[in-house]
Amino acid sequence: MTLRTVAGRRIGETAEDLQAWLRQLDGCPSISRTVLASCPSEQHGDEPATWFYVEADAAESIARRRCLSCGQTSDVLDSAEHWNYPRMWSCSGCGQSIAEVAAGLHLEDSDDVTWVALAARCVECGSIEGLTDFNVDPIDSEAIADKL
Ligand SMILES: [Zn+2]
Ligand SMILES: [Zn+2]
């Protein structure tokens, strides 16, 4: 793990650092599993596309990703049902808007997910930032992967 802090910002060098950051979050439900977002479009074949433009609203618990490579959008969980056209995310460190995105899952003892945290890592400078979080009706951790 190569997480480090530069002038108060969290910097991660890889997508794994982003997921490690989610797992160590304090002051929220514990995160025991993480999922790195990749574009579901079949055109990427064996090379998953993991760079996105992200729109998210932390107050409304909504987020949407647009694949940098193919342009396909993915609504996170039920975000489309109460979409409010939030601004596109841009890095607080360097200002650009392309990010890797990962979800941290809080599992109840039955192995059901009840809470999800979404975070982004700037692919330019490595800055890691939380995007939003979601309370969800208990759902199997395999089943939720398609909705992230
Ligand atoms: Zn794509
Ligand atoms: Zn940046």
Between the CA of 143 and the centroid of ligand 2 the distance, in Å, is 32
Name the one residue in this structure whose structure tokens are 């049902």.
Answer: 81
Look up residue 132 and give its DSSP letter. E
What pTM was computed for the model? 0.93
pLDDT means over runs of 10, the chain (148 residues): 67 96 92 95 93 97 98 97 97 97 92 95 97 95 90
Ligand 1 centroid, distance to 30 Cα (angstroms): 30
CA 7 – ligand 1 centroid, Å: 34
pLDDT score at 1: 44
Give kind and range of the element (H or E) at residue 143.
helix 141-144
In 3D space, the residue among 94, 79, 71 whose CA is nearest the CA of residue 131 turns out to be: 79
**What residues pack around ion ligand 2 (CB closer than 5 A)?**
91, 93-94, 122, 124-125, 127
* 124 CA distance to ligand 2 middle (Å): 5
- The predicted pLDDT at position 61 comes to 96
What is the structure's pLDDT at 7? Answer: 66
